Amino acid sequence: MADLLTRLMHLNAEYAATLDDDRLEDWPDFFVTECLYKITSADNVRDGNEAGIVYADSRAMLADRVLALRRANIYERQSYRHIVSLPRLTGTDKAETPFLVVRTMRDGRMDLFAAGRYVDRFDDSAGMLHFRERIVVCDSARFDTLVAIPL
Amino acid sequence: MADLLTRLMHLNAEYAATLDDDRLEDWPDFFVTECLYKITSADNVRDGNEAGIVYADSRAMLADRVLALRRANIYERQSYRHIVSLPRLTGTDKAETPFLVVRTMRDGRMDLFAAGRYVDRFDDSAGMLHFRERIVVCDSARFDTLVAIPL
Amino acid sequence: MADLLTRLMHLNAEYAATLDDDRLEDWPDFFVTECLYKITSADNVRDGNEAGIVYADSRAMLADRVLALRRANIYERQSYRHIVSLPRLTGTDKAETPFLVVRTMRDGRMDLFAAGRYVDRFDDSAGMLHFRERIVVCDSARFDTLVAIPL
């Protein structure tokens, strides 16, 4: 268990740094080809509502999403900082990990942008861990329009 | 040391998820039968004031507390997210772990609810770790009335 | 890797506790004699600006800094809580670790004080890890005058 936990921490740390360093083009590589990525809210999950605010079911869709963000976000200069808490194994290929994202605006103001948990199914067949599923369950259902950024 | 640290991280991750998933009835199981659970403030600790905002000295008292919360909190629908930092061994059966709790209100607003450190003495006799003591030392002495929830 | 990661987590946990427990006199001991400690902003790093808000290139300078803080901060009674996320190895002697610092004022109010990442080069020659370099890269360039405290 210790080794898998260590590898999950490593995976989560790399994932967070890729987003916070704005290396979005590398983000799809954390997923298997046929994956599921979704941003949703705790309310949605509780109500059995399968729809998400963001939904992608392949690595190609994630890459498309990054292209769209690059075109759209020319004027945005906020930065984000993911604080990832301790992962928790919930099955042989499942984990849940709490996260917090702090946003820093161009003028230096900081706020709590998102909090929640990652609900993951991972794949270990390629010598390293990839996400088969990463469901980002946000505690708040009130999303900033900018939630278009990956979490 | 690595193995104990891993197990402490696991324990803390499970503890946080139990609270944040609102599985309060499972919360007393993290403690030994004759335990000490206390929520206090850094000021109290500094002044040698032993009283806490919340105090329980047995697992049965923790279970009672959960029952009381279930009766009282019918209308409360906030959610909480514990972000647990890296644990630190401070003795053979002692650890300290910083934490942050973000609260999300029903309307989606988030705020910093509590920050501080867990001061723990743990028990390893039952094949898994349990808390003999968990003193929740909050940095702020100004508690929301809702601090009645476990931290 | 697992073992080094564990030791880095331990180092970061001890470092954070030393600052948050206000044991500032012990803080220089985390560094090698000829070290580099800098607090800077992501903007500065992006612009190739080498200057930092705080700069010290020896353990002796860090100790001087602590003395100065002790003389100056008689009236300050804020407390700080470092929430350190998962470290990420970026080379054989390099790591990056995200952090968040929550400040609690005397009246109990809490705010986000700083968020960013530690960019570290460490030394493993003395039987335990020390920082050869710790560059504190804050996401915000707007510093409180109190950033004089170590991060």
Q: How far apart are CA A117 and CA A39, in angstroms?
A: 10
Q: In this complex, do B9 and A115 lie within 8 Å of one another by their Cβ atoms?
A: no
Q: What chains are in contact with B, requiring at least 3 Cβ pairs below 8 Å? A: A, C
- Which residue ranges in chain B fall short of pLDDT 50? none
Structure tokens at C133: 């370099």
Residue B67 contacts A where some CB pair is shorter than 8 Å: no
- Location of structure tokens 């505690």: A139
Helix spans in chain B (H)? 2-20, 42-46, 59-72
The ipTM assigned to this model is: 0.90
- How far apart are the C-alpha atoms of B42 and C131, rounded to whole Å? 29
Q: Is A128 on the interface with C (CB under 8 A)?
A: no
Q: Does B47 touch chain C (CB under 8 A)?
A: no
**Residue extents of the structural domains in chain A:** 2-148
Say if pTM beats, i.e. exceeds, 0.95.
no
Q: Residues C45-102: pLDDT tens digits?
A: 988 887 778 899 999 999 999 998 888 765 567 899 999 999 999 999 999 999 999 9
Topology at the third CATH level for domain C2-148? Nuclear Transport Factor 2; Chain: A, (3.10.450)
Separation of alpha carbons C30 and B83, rounded Å: 25
Higher pLDDT, A107 or A132: A132
- Nearest-angstrom CA–CA distance, A53 and A43: 12
- Name which of A31-45, B131-145, C136-150 the model is least confident about: C136-150
Judging contacts by C-beta atoms under 8 Å, the chain C residues touching residue A2 are 2
Contacts C9 to B, Cβ<8 Å? 5, 86
**What is the DSSP code string of C21-77?**
TT-GGGGGGGEEEEEEEEEEEHHHHHTT----SEEE-SHHHHHHHHHHHHHHGGG--
**What amino acid occupies position B46?**
R
Q: Which chain A residue shows the shortest CA-CA distance from C96?
A: A17
> What SS3 state is found at B120?
strand
Q: Would you tell me the crossing angle of helices B2-20 and A2-20 to the nearest 10 degrees?
A: 70
Contacts of A146 (CB under 8 A, 6+ apart): A76, A78
User: Contact at 8 Å (CB) between B33 and B117?
Assistant: no
Question: In this complex, is the C-beta atom of C117 within 8 Å of any C-beta atom belonging to chain A?
Answer: yes
Closest CA to A131 of A54, A43, A61, A31: A31
**How far away is chain A from the Cα of C51, in angstroms, using its nearest Cα?**
18
